[in-house]
Copies of this chain bind each other. A is one copy, B any other.
Amino acid sequence: MKPYKTTASRIVWSSPWYRIRQDELLLPDGSSGVYNVVEKPPAVWIVPLTLAGKVVLIRNYRYTVDDWCLEIPAGSQQPQQRLAETAAQELREEIGGVARNLAYVGQFYTANGICNEISHVFLATGVTLGPPSREPTEVMETRQVSVSEALHLAATNQISDGPSALALLLCAERLRALDG
């Protein structure tokens, strides 16, 4: 049950990547309020496991925080694209990866206080690596680590991109089984 009533809604700012919707609300206590929602398409996060059993991480420059971050391949779903297609595309573009199998793991809200983005997690196995085809803004390099190293990095706060760390930890049981 939705505890707020929306009394008005309009787009107050937009870009090709996301936009801001500003809603006026009637709150449960009878007062009125404003809620701004960052409207963004769903995102996919792909944990890549190579044929040799290595997890492929990306060291990625992020302009928003002016920092280099350890991450996994990720991207936003494009219109008319299925999530698995987005996952395969990002894998190919960011690390030149092709997966034998792409398994859906689960989803979480990235930042539900301000944004409606849903992050979907895929585990890509049997991955072979080729030349990537990155966009000009994508400045990154790849790094291959063992399953136990990848999970250790994520669990000990050494993967500074939150969704990447969580995606790895959500794959922990499956990765350990494959590493067996």
Contact stretch, chosen from A30-38, A92-100, A123-131: A30-38
Binary flags per residue of A62-87, CB closer than 8 Å to B gives 1, else 0:
11111101000010000000000000
Q: Are B157 and A106 in contact (CB under 8 A)?
A: yes
Sort A-B residue pairs by CB-CB distance and give the 6 closest, nearest first. A106-B157, A108-B162, A13-B13, A62-B112, A166-B166, A27-B136
Q: Which of A95-116 contact B (CB under 8 A)?
A: 105-116
Closest beta carbon of chain B to A179's beta carbon, Å: 17
Q: A28-B136, A119-B162 are in contact. Are A69 and B109 (CB under 8 A)?
A: yes
* Interface residue from B27, B106, B166 paired with A169 (Cβ < 8 Å): B166
Are B170's CB and A105's CB within 8 A? Answer: no
Q: Is the interface of A mostly helix, strand, loop or mixed?
A: mixed
Cβ of A72 to closest chain B Cβ, rounded Å: 13
With a CB–CB cut-off of 8 A, which chain B residues contact A110?
A: 110-111, 162
Decide: B27 and A137 in contact? CB cutoff 8 A.
yes
Residues from chain B with Cβ under 8 Å of A159 in the complex: 108
- B2, B27, B65, B108: which contacts A161 (Cβ < 8 A)? B108
Does A180 make an interface contact (CB < 8 A)?
Answer: no
> CA–CA, A107 to B69, complex, Å?
12
